[in-house]
Amino acid sequence: MAKVAPEDFDIDQVRAAYIGKQGQRSDGLYPVEHDPIRRHEHMCYGTNPLFLDPEYGRESQYGETIAPGVMADYFAGDGTWPSWNGGHELPTRGDAELDVPTIGDRAINLSTTWEFLKPIRVGDRLWSQPSVADVFVKPIRLDPNAIWVVNETRFYNQDDELVAISRNTGLRHREPAEVEANPDPLGLQEK
């Protein structure tokens, strides 16, 4: 997120410019496969036969093995290996055009929530698209002008059916010295 001077920050303009703004579509590098699901379940000590047992999956209401919803991000991802840029650097993540300007540069990640809307089936090809869902100013103990940003990523299958939504809430605040020098540069505490 880009830090801007408080005199250049207008929450109404930022909200108008960013809420609903969508980033680039990202197509998953790999299809949904049983083996990564199995490895995920074993790593998490999962025992759900719907994820682990193809026979059980075939006899279930889904007719096949499905993936845990939290794996949507993995299967919609660009894969980190091998490196596609010719070097050994990991690919960069995020869309620069979704970087919401804030008056602080100290970040706190607060929460991530998920909605799972349709089963993710073995063989599906997932894609995702990030967006900015909300931006607002809400005081915290460290900074009465903390800027909160809610990012949302929607996950779709090859038929463009929405299968999951992830929302991440974070905030940016100013350094203590900045707050001490100018506690309320946005003039919001008097409203």
pLDDT confidence of residue 144? 96
Q: What is the mean pLDDT of residues 14-20?
A: 98
What count of other Cβ atoms lies within 10 Å of the Cβ of residue 180? 9
Mind listing the pLDDT tens digit for each residue in 42-61?
999 999 999 999 999 999 99
**Tens digit of pLDDT for each residue in 104-155?**
999 999 999 999 999 999 999 999 999 999 999 999 999 999 999 999 999 9
Residue closest to 104 by CA, chosen among 171, 174, 170, 14: 174
> Does 79 have pLDDT greater than 80?
no
Residue 86 scores a pLDDT above 70: no
pLDDT at 90 over 60: no
pLDDT (mean) for 65-89: 78
Of 170, 164, 166, give the one whose Cα is nearest residue 150.
170
Mean pLDDT of 168-177: 97
What average pLDDT does the chain have?
92
Query: Coil, strand or helix: which one is 97?
Result: helix
Q: Is the pLDDT score of 85 beyond 90?
A: no
- Assigned token pair, 20: 């609903």
Cα distance between residue 188 and residue 147, in whole Å: 12
Between CA 3 and CA 144 the distance in angstroms is 16
- Per-residue pLDDT at 80 exceeds 70: no
- Give the span between the Cα atoms of 139 and 40, in whole angstroms: 39
Please give the Cα distance from 111 to 121 (Å, whole number): 27
- Compute the distance between CA of residue 112 and CA of residue 166 in angstroms, rounded to an integer: 7
pLDDT tier for residue 183 given thresholds of 50, 70 and 90: very high
Q: Which residues are registered as beta bridge partners of 165?
A: 115, 154
- pLDDT, residue 1, reads 64
